[in-house]
Structure 1
């Protein structure tokens, strides 16, 4: 071996360096996942509230012409009313339904409900914090949980 040729330095990473890097990436991904799930849940809840209020506006328009509100169930043709919260039923977090308010008939009051993961929509979606969202034609808004509206 001549004095001018030195062995080439080893290239690459050691196993320990790779494992430490992998552990850091997994830790950061785990921390980010919880925040991501929280944001997705809030977005789906906002979708449900918006769809519920949209149906209430449609109900008011229907009442102006027919002098009564219209009841419907999720999955039905809904006779012009959208019964799911998203772009398609499979991509929707909430199933919508309308019925008469308690102790009243459809000529005076309608109650629209948005059920998370309900019939005909994405059944994997759950909202344990807020549950079912409700709004009626008198301006009342309710949910199973607190601070959901």
Structure 2
């Protein structure tokens, strides 16, 4: 069965997703996830997500292809989009239309997410104790929790 995929074209997005692809491959190979100083905030956010009914997926489900050909699984992207009620943008739009791409935009006003934000969310979740025990990532239905994990994942990436 062939799974439809999204190919990312923007160079900065491809570079970031390539970094994540390598990190995810390391996680899949069983390498330990590094500890961070923000674990308390991470664990609190993840526990809030787990308090509600969730949809889960594994890291193997997230992407397909090699590091040179980065593709996200359309089914996972659609699950995120539907569950968190945000539109997926394969590339960031140019300009600053109504602050739609402003990182300081409050979560309740967000309307979309990007591939890098999805990867940030997943990478943050992979640092949680729940992930370490279950090897599953839960998809939240709350935009503020999604944004919080994106921010934590972005800090881990940097």
> Given the two structures, how large is their TM-score scaled by the length of structure 2?
0.23
Structure number with the bigger relative contact order (C-alpha 8 A, sep ≥ 6) is 2
Larger helix proportion of the pair: 2
> Given the two structures, how large is their TM-score scaled by the length of structure 1?
0.23
